[in-house]
Amino acid sequence: MSKPTIIQVIKSVLSAAIGVQSGDNRERDFTQGSFATYVIAGIAFTILFVLGLIFLVSNIIG
């Protein structure tokens, strides 16, 4: 078995963020994936999400 690709990591992080991660993908992440990879991807997603919200709210408020 090989490590998950960057695309699979991104899909897993996005799926987990909205709560629709499949059991097969979750098991693949826990057995083959690196903890550090998912932590870094999760932090990056969180930062981009917060920055996106700040940008959206600042444009709406004016």
Query: Is 1 inside a domain boundary?
Result: no
Q: Which domain holds residue 33?
A: 6-61
Query: Is 34 inside a domain boundary?
Result: yes
Provide the token pair at 7. 């695309």
Give the total number of structural domains in the chain. 1
Model-level pTM greater than 0.75? yes
Positive or negative: CA dihedral 20, 42, 49, 5? negative
Q: pLDDT of 18-57, one tens digit each?
A: 999 888 888 988 899 899 999 999 999 999 999 999 999 9
Element (H, E) at 21: none
Long-range residue pairs from 26-32, CB within 8 A, at least 24 positions apart, any chain = 28/4, 29/4, 31/1, 32/1, 32/2, 32/3, 32/4
Query: Is 16 inside a domain boundary?
Result: yes
Query: Is 26 inside a domain boundary?
Result: yes
